[in-house]
């Protein structure tokens, strides 16, 4: 049984495939799109913004990815939304946050529609 892993760009689950039999350890991206969109400074800033915003709130409160996008770029935040969601998924992979919809934790790889982000420690304690 080979464990699945998460894409270093979008944070989605990468399912093991036969074609990766020999180089699974080197697989880092879920696909070509993510390989081309390697992480930039903005991606790191978004990830830091999520952590910072959450740490400034009550332990169990949630934030919207748009708040992190706004914190990084006040005017161009809308264009950063896909990257903000990627940053949130990477933080889920790092066990730092959980992604919720309707007050329930959801799988970040498959969640569609608006999401909220909560601190993993605060959420699991409730």
Residues making contact with Zn ion (CB under 5 A): 7, 9-10, 30, 34
Structure tokens at 107: 């799988």
Q: Are 117 and 54 in contact (CB under 8 A)?
A: yes
- The residue (of 70 and 85) whose beta carbon lies closer to Zn ion is 85
Q: What is the DSSP letter of 28?
A: -
- The residue (of 11 and 98) whose beta carbon lies closer to Zn ion is 11
- The residue (of 53 and 81) whose beta carbon lies closer to Zn ion is 81
User: Measured from the CB of residue 1, what is the shortest distance to Zn ion in angstroms?
Assistant: 22
User: Measured from the CB of residue 69, what is the shortest distance to Zn ion in angstroms?
Assistant: 19
Distance, in Å, from the CA atom of 19 to the CA atom of 54, rounded to the nearest integer, reads: 40
User: Measured from the CB of residue 80, what is the shortest distance to Zn ion in angstroms?
Assistant: 17
Beta-strand runs (E) in 1-126: 5-6, 13-14, 62-63, 97-101, 104-105, 116-119
User: Measured from the CB of residue 34, what is the shortest distance to Zn ion in angstroms?
Assistant: 3
Q: b/e map of 26-56 (b: 16 or more CB within 10 Å)?
A: eeebbeeebeeeebeebbebbbebbbebbee
- The residue (of 17 and 74) whose beta carbon lies closer to Zn ion is 17
């Amino acid at each position: 049984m080979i464990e699945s892993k998460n894409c270093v760009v979008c944070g989605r689950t990468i399912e093991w495939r036969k074609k990766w039999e020999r180089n699974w350890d080197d697989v880092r991206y879920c696909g070509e799109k993510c390989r081309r969109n390697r992480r930039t400074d903005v991606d790191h800033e978004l990830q830091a913004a999520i952590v910072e915003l959450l740490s400034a709130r009550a332990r169990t409160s949630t934030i919207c990815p748009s708040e992190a996008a706004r914190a990084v770029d006040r005017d161009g935040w809308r264009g950063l939304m896909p990257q903000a969601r990627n940053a949130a998924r990477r933080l889920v992979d790092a066990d730092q946050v959980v992604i919720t919809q309707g007050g329930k934790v959801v799988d970040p790889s498959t969640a569609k529609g608006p999401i909220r982000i909560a601190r993993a420690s605060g959420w699991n304690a409730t």
